[in-house]
């Protein structure tokens, strides 16, 4: 994967890493050592940044956030004891899980049982390699990045199938069969939504897709044409199903299957599944942020131009290392903010909705999401074929008009929904302030 | 070897799944042996008896007063209702009905309905949990917690109250609690709306529960189903209405029973049999909605009872403050061969006690007719052809308490 990097670098645009290395070292050193330096820099990003941050800090924070979000939705406080507002609770839990006895059931297939969680986690982690973090920051900007994500995403299924089968437990088997059914089905609408984005961007490379969304917020693919928000919703539903998050948490449905595929797992092996789930949450949210919500773009025209310009070859002028680093810091923050928002929505849904049944899961996928995603794909390609620039030349905003209308329409929809949403929880709030518990004023008359 | 069936070209084999007694959603120690074909349930057979504690035999060897704590541990989610039902049965056996002061009767009605709210909160909440919605469960528990605090202040206990005894109460009724109960009931009104918004009319929830586990009215009657199980199927039978005990006849006259219908078909309002919370389709959603509706119905009845307490004369209040138990302690002597059968509409259905006097302080025979036991029998019938996820929803909608099933 990393050896592909040097070949992947194109002279006109180039990969981010390449530019960063060019800025960091002297030209003559670069000319001599580029084939070594570029993979080394990628490896350094993975080892110094992604592994520590995404592998340890991210799940720690995500698990804490999940517990806090659920607690506050359920009028509880959640963890409060370990650290300020319980922020160290995850570490305490991790220590507990590490210290637990490692149990492998007698009837289990030991080799598969041991290797299953590892493959699951590895499959999820490999996906991090092609996720852009900033204008220069991407471990491996493969020219088949999106395809790579779709392909590697299936490895997770393999690991879970292995461990579910190896457990030799009927609940695990049930969970595993459900998981295989669900994940294999939902990969199709997910793939079609990837294809739609690819058709708009003209590339499978993640950085290329992000760069295509350069400019103001209506250049993001989610607002590119009237159908893209719907494609984004399909992508989001499919990604929830891929992630086994509620309402699609059938494979580990607690009330039905005890714990589903990981019923027999305990201690550290269980926590590996847990870790994989939370990293997968980040991965799908980051994919959504990158291919629909502009990736490291802020959605503010001049600022985006600066971020793009920091990439040397793009704007034409050479830029300094400081500028490049600043752009990357902004980029990382923006990607993380967008991904975290999507993760929050995942949590929000999980703690609001009941679980749907297996036949409803399949109905939703095969009868609704799959045909809809194909129709939206064809329609959004057709929209791109229409010569809007010529049609709108004489109108205000010229060729930007269609995108501006799409953006205005959908953002006003979101605004109306938010206004309604806000009003719904303002009323009970006022009421509970007025009617203090235990203090009555109104007399009851029969 | 399991028998094989052939559907088209696909050869499927049956799968025997043992669900429980340690399973998160069998509501206790119920064991269900399920024959499945993939996700389809071919047959689900409930096995009971894991919580059998010889309630009836123990009761026959205790004085009639000492039986009350045993009744707590039958339907432990509606302990107060069990206490009251047993006390009413014992009072009938002893011939004390006329001795009970009016205030005691009103307070018993109030406790009965408060306990129904607490029990249905548990049922509604855990039903959400069964279909995967975790948040409504904790919202229901938030309100139930307040009710438990009220009960704690009344009886000193949070779950197994042993408050109501044949002849009166364990402790005198604390009049100051009336205000707190009213405050809770006022506060509770909006919460019911919240549950409905969050769970009852949630699209996924309705999809998951409507049309699942349909129990036809005649089958419900054949199996002896009672309570929300029976009313969910559209059969109008509620002992509070049909054979009013306590002060339910007054509440009936005052029109506190509210009529609302759930389901896709409106019953004919001219039908005099239909007077209370009724489901129509007999599916899981109807049974759930009967309980959710009874939250509001019970809330109104509680408020009406509080109003009655306020209207009591001072003489009545004083009479009620004195517990009959103390004086009558030595008179727990039922005539030999005297029989009494008393049934009440518990949150889960008709709970009945059959007592036979022995001329001693203990009864010759104590028999409890537990609603959950009869309701559970129908599981095999209504879960045939459902999916495994539906089976959980069906068990949840029956709303069993294993302490009562096994006794």
Min CA distance, A256 vs chain B (Å)? 6
pLDDT at B191: 84
Asked whether the beta carbons of residue B307 and residue A445 sit closer than 8 angstroms, the reply is yes
pLDDT at A237: 92
Residue A315 — pLDDT band, cuts 50, 70, 90?
very low
Sheet architecture: strand order including B365-369: B339-346, B349-356, B365-369
Asked whether the beta carbons of residue B133 and residue A255 sit closer than 8 angstroms, the reply is no
Closest CA to A212 of A295, A140, A302: A295
What separation in angstroms does the CA of B179 have from each of A89, A255, A438, B303? 41, 39, 8, 11
The tokens describing A232, both together, are: 């984004």
Min CA distance, B255 vs chain A (Å)? 9
Asked whether the beta carbons of residue B387 and residue A358 sit closer than 8 angstroms, the reply is yes
Q: Which residue of A has its CA nearest to B147?
A: A438
Question: Are B317 and B330 contacting, i.e. CB atoms less than 8 angstroms apart?
Answer: no
Question: How far is Cα B242 from Cα B274, in angstroms, rounded to an integer?
Answer: 12
Question: How far is Cα A211 from Cα A327, in angstroms, rounded to an integer?
Answer: 14
The tokens describing A445, both together, are: 């008359």
Judging contacts by C-beta atoms under 8 Å, the chain A residues touching residue B25 are 255-256
Asked whether the beta carbons of residue A353 and residue B139 sit closer than 8 angstroms, the reply is no
Q: Can you count the helices (H) and strands (E) in chain B?
A: 18, 10
Q: Which residue of A has its CA nearest to B38?
A: A174
Res B253 pLDDT > 90:
no
Nearest to A74 among B139, B186, B387 (CB): B139
Residue B93 — pLDDT band, cuts 50, 70, 90?
confident
Residue B212 — pLDDT band, cuts 50, 70, 90?
confident
Nearest to A442 among B179, B186, B208 (CB): B186
Min CA distance, B329 vs chain A (Å)? 37
Partnered with residue B168 across adjacent β-strands are B165
Give the model confidence (pLDDT) of B116-172 as tens digits: 999 999 999 999 888 888 889 988 988 898 899 899 888 888 888 888 888 888 888
Q: Exposed, middle or buried by CB within 10 Å (0-12, 13-18, 19+), for A304? A: buried
Question: Are A221 and A213 contacting, i.e. CB atoms less than 8 angstroms apart?
Answer: yes
B249-259: average pLDDT: 73
Min CA distance, A58 vs chain B (Å)? 24
Asked whether the beta carbons of residue B134 and residue A358 sit closer than 8 angstroms, the reply is no
What separation in angstroms does the CA of A134 have from each of A144, A218, A301, A326, B393? 18, 20, 17, 10, 47
Chain B, 363 to 392: residues with Cβ < 8 Å from chain A are 387-390, 392
pLDDT at A19: 66
Res B108 pLDDT > 60:
yes
pLDDT at B62: 85
Q: Write down the domain spans for chain A.
A: 103-385
Asked whether the beta carbons of residue B190 and residue A351 sit closer than 8 angstroms, the reply is no
Min CA distance, A294 vs chain B (Å)? 32
A157-183: average pLDDT: 87
Res B260 pLDDT > 70:
no
Closest CA to B111 of B153, B66, B64: B153
If you search the block for the tokens 């709306």, which residue do you land on? Answer: B193
pLDDT at B353: 92
pLDDT at A189: 92
Res B52 pLDDT > 50:
yes
B2 and chain A in contact, CB less than 8 A: no
pLDDT at B113: 92
**SS3 state of residue B340:** strand
B47 found inside a domain: no
Give the model confidence (pLDDT) of A172-193 as tens digits: 888 888 888 888 889 899 999 9
Asked whether the beta carbons of residue B183 and residue A75 sit closer than 8 angstroms, the reply is no
Asked whether the beta carbons of residue A438 and residue B183 sit closer than 8 angstroms, the reply is yes
Asked whether the beta carbons of residue A444 and residue B392 sit closer than 8 angstroms, the reply is no
The tokens describing B313, both together, are: 């004369």
Question: Are A141 and A47 contacting, i.e. CB atoms less than 8 angstroms apart?
Answer: no
Question: How far is Cα A203 from Cα A148, in angstroms, rounded to an integer?
Answer: 13
Nearest to A435 among B186, B194, B202 (CB): B186
pLDDT at A10: 40
B201 and chain A in contact, CB less than 8 A: no
Kind and range of the H or E element at B47?
A: strand B40-47
B142 and chain A in contact, CB less than 8 A: yes
Query: How many Cβ atoms sit within 10 Å of the Cβ of residue A324?
Result: 22
A84-109: average pLDDT: 86
Res B115 pLDDT > 90:
yes
Kind and range of the H or E element at A19?
A: helix A16-24
Asked whether the beta carbons of residue B389 and residue A76 sit closer than 8 angstroms, the reply is no
pLDDT at B209: 86
Nearest to A444 among B194, B307, B388 (CB): B307
Q: Which residue of B has its CA nearest to A247?
A: B132
Residue A158 — pLDDT band, cuts 50, 70, 90?
confident
Question: How far is Cα B84 from Cα B75, in angstroms, rounded to an integer?
Answer: 12
Strands B31-37, B40-47: pairing is antiparallel
Res B402 pLDDT > 90:
no
Chain B, 10 to 49: residues with Cβ < 8 Å from chain A are 15, 17-18, 23-25, 38-39
More confident residue, B200 or A48: B200
Question: Are B73 and B66 contacting, i.e. CB atoms less than 8 angstroms apart?
Answer: no
Question: Are A178 and A260 contacting, i.e. CB atoms less than 8 angstroms apart?
Answer: yes
The tokens describing B130, both together, are: 């069964």
Judging contacts by C-beta atoms under 8 Å, the chain A residues touching residue B387 are 357-359
Partnered with residue B356 across adjacent β-strands are B339, B365
Q: Which residue of B has its CA nearest to A175?
A: B39
B108 found inside a domain: yes
Chain B, 59 to 118: residues with Cβ < 8 Å from chain A are none
Asked whether the beta carbons of residue A353 and residue B202 sit closer than 8 angstroms, the reply is yes
Res A7 pLDDT > 70:
no
Give the model confidence (pLDDT) of A336-382 as tens digits: 899 999 999 999 888 888 888 888 888 888 888 999 999 999 998 88
Judging contacts by C-beta atoms under 8 Å, the chain A residues touching residue B390 are 357
- Mean pLDDT of all residues belonging to chain A: 79
CATH number of the domain that B327 lies in?
1.10.645.10
Asked whether the beta carbons of residue A255 and residue B25 sit closer than 8 angstroms, the reply is yes
A interface residues, B as partner, C-beta within 8 Å: 70, 73-76, 170, 174, 177-178, 246-247, 249-250, 253-258, 351-360, 428, 431, 435, 437-440, 442, 444-446
Least confident of A199-213, A247-261, A318-332, B93-107: A318-332
Asked whether the beta carbons of residue A357 and residue B25 sit closer than 8 angstroms, the reply is no
Q: Number of folded domains in chain B?
A: 1
Asked whether the beta carbons of residue A355 and residue B306 sit closer than 8 angstroms, the reply is no
Residue A87 — pLDDT band, cuts 50, 70, 90?
confident
Least confident of A42-56, B22-36, B41-55, B272-286: B272-286
Q: Which residue of A has its CA nearest to B142?
A: A75
B325 and chain A in contact, CB less than 8 A: no
Question: How far is Cα B305 from Cα B107, in angstroms, rounded to an integer?
Answer: 7
pLDDT at A389: 74
Res A8 pLDDT > 70:
no
Give the model confidence (pLDDT) of A249-289 as tens digits: 877 777 777 777 888 888 888 888 888 888 888 889 999 99
Question: How far is Cα B363 from Cα B335, in angstroms, rounded to an integer?
Answer: 10
Min CA distance, B313 vs chain A (Å)? 17
Asked whether the beta carbons of residue B131 and residue A431 sit closer than 8 angstroms, the reply is no
The tokens describing B358, both together, are: 């022995």
Instruction: Show the CA angle centred on residue A201, arms to residues A200 and A205, nearest 5°.
Output: 145
Question: How far is Cα B334 from Cα B61, in angstroms, rounded to an integer?
Answer: 14
A51-56: average pLDDT: 70
Residue A440 — pLDDT band, cuts 50, 70, 90?
very low
Interface with A, mutate which of B128, B389, B390, B393 (most A CBs under 10 A): B389
Asked whether the beta carbons of residue A70 and residue B39 sit closer than 8 angstroms, the reply is no
Q: Exposed, middle or buried by CB within 10 Å (0-12, 13-18, 19+), for B231? A: buried
pLDDT at B229: 87
pLDDT at A15: 53
Instruction: Show the CA angle centred on residue B354, arms to residues B348 and B357, nearest 5°.
Output: 150
What range defines the domain where residue B276 resides? Answer: 55-406
């Amino acid at each position: 994967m990393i050896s592909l990097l040097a070949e992947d670098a194109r002279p006109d645009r180039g990969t981010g890493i390449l530019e960063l290395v060019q800025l960091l070292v002297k030209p003559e050193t670069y000319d001599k050592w580029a084939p070594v330096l570029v993979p080394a820099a990628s490896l350094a990003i993975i080892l110094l940044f992604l592994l520590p941050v995404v592998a340890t800090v991210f799940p720690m924070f995500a698990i804490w956030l999940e517990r806090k979000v659920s607690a506050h939705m359920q009028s509880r406080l959640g963890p409060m004891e370990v650290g300020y507002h319980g922020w160290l609770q995850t570490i305490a839990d991790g220590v507990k899980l590490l210290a637990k006895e490692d149990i492998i059931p007698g009837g289990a297939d030991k080799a598969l049982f041991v290797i299953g969680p590892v493959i699951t986690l590895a499959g999820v982690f490999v996906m991090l390699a092609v996720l852009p973090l900033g204008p220069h920051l991407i471990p491996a900007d493969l020219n088949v990045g999106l395809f790579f994500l779709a392909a590697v995403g299936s490895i997770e299924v393999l690991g879970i199938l292995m461990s579910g089968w190896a457990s030799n437990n009927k609940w695990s088997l049930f969970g595993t069969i459900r998981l295989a059914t669900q994940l294999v089905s939902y990969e199709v609408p997910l793939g079609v939504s990837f294809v739609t984005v690819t058709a708009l961007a003209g590339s499978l490379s993640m950085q290329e897709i992000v760069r295509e969304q350069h400019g103001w917020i209506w250049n993001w693919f989610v607002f590119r044409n009237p159908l893209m928000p719907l494609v984004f919703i399909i992508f989001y539903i499919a990604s929830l199903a891929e992630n086994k998050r509620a309402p699609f948490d059938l494979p580990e449905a607690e009330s039905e299957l005890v714990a589903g595929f990981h019923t027999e797992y305990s201690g550290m092996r269980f926590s590996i599944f847990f870790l994989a789930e939370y990293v997968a949450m980040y991965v799908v949210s980051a994919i959504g942020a990158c291919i629909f919500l502009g990736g490291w773009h802020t959605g503010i025209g001049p600022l985006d131009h600066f971020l793009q310009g920091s990439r040397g070859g793009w704007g034409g002028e050479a830029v300094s290392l400081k500028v490049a680093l600043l752009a990357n810091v902004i980029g990382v923050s923006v990607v993380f903010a967008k991904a975290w928002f999507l993760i929050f929505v995942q949590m929000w849904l999980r703690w609001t909705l009941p679980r749907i049944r297996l036949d409803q899961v399949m109905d939703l996928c095969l009868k609704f999401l799959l045909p809809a995603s194909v129709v939206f794909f064809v329609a959004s390609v057709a929209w791109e074929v229409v010569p809007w620039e010529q049609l709108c030349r004489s109108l205000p905003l010229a060729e930007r008009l269609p995108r501006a209308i799409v953006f205005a329409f959908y953002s006003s929809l979101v605004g109306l929904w938010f206004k309604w949403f806000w009003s719904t929880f303002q009323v009970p709030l006022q009421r509970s302030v007025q009617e203090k518990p235990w203090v009555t004023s109104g007399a009851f008359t029969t | 070897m399991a028998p094989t069936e052939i559907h088209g070209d696909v050869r499927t084999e049956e799968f025997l799944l043992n669900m429980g007694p340690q399973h998160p959603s069998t509501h206790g120690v119920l064991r269900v042996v399920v024959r499945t074909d993939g996700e389809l349930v071919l047959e689900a057979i409930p096995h009971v008896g894991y919580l059998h504690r010889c309630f009836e035999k123990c009761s026959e060897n205790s004085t009639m007063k000492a039986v009350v704590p045993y009744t707590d541990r039958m339907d432990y989610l509606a302990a107060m209702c069990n206490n009251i039902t047993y006390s009413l049965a014992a009072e009938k056996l002893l011939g004390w009905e006329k001795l009970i002061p009016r205030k005691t009767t009103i307070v018993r009605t109030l406790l009965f309905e408060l306990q129904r709210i607490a029990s249905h909160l548990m049922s509604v909440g855990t039903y959400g949990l069964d279909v995967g919605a975790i948040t409504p469960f904790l919202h229901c528990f938030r309100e139930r917690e307040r009710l438990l605090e009220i009960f704690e202040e009344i009886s000193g206990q949070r779950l197994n109250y042993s408050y109501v005894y044949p002849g009166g109460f364990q402790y005198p009724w604390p009049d100051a609690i009336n205000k707190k109960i009213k405050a809770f009931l006022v506060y509770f009104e909006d919460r019911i709306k919240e549950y409905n918004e969050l769970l009852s009319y949630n699209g996924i929830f309705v999809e998951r529960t409507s049309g699942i586990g349909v129990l036809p009215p005649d089958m419900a009657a054949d199996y002896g189903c009672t309570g929300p199980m029976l009313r969910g199927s559209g059969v109008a039978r509620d002992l509070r209405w049909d054979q009013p005990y306590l002060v339910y006849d007054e509440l009936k006259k005052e029109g506190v029973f509210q009529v609302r219908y759930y389901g896709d078909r409106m019953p004919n309002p001219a039908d005099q049999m239909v007077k209370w919370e009724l489901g129509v389709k007999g599916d899981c959603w109807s049974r759930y909605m009967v309980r959710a509706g009874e939250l509001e119905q019970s809330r109104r009845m509680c408020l009406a009872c509080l109003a009655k307490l306020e209207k009591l004369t001072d003489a009545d209040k004083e009479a009620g403050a004195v517990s009959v138990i103390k004086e009558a302690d030595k008179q727990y002597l039922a005539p030999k061969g005297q029989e009494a059968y008393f049934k009440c509409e518990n949150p889960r259905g008709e709970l009945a006690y059959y007592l036979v006097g022995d001329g001693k302080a203990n009864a010759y025979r104590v028999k409890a007719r537990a609603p959950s036991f009869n309701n559970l029998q129908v599981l095999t019938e209504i879960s045939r052809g459902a999916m495994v996820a539906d089976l959980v929803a069906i068990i949840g909608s029956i709303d069993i308490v294993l302490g009562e099933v096994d006794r």
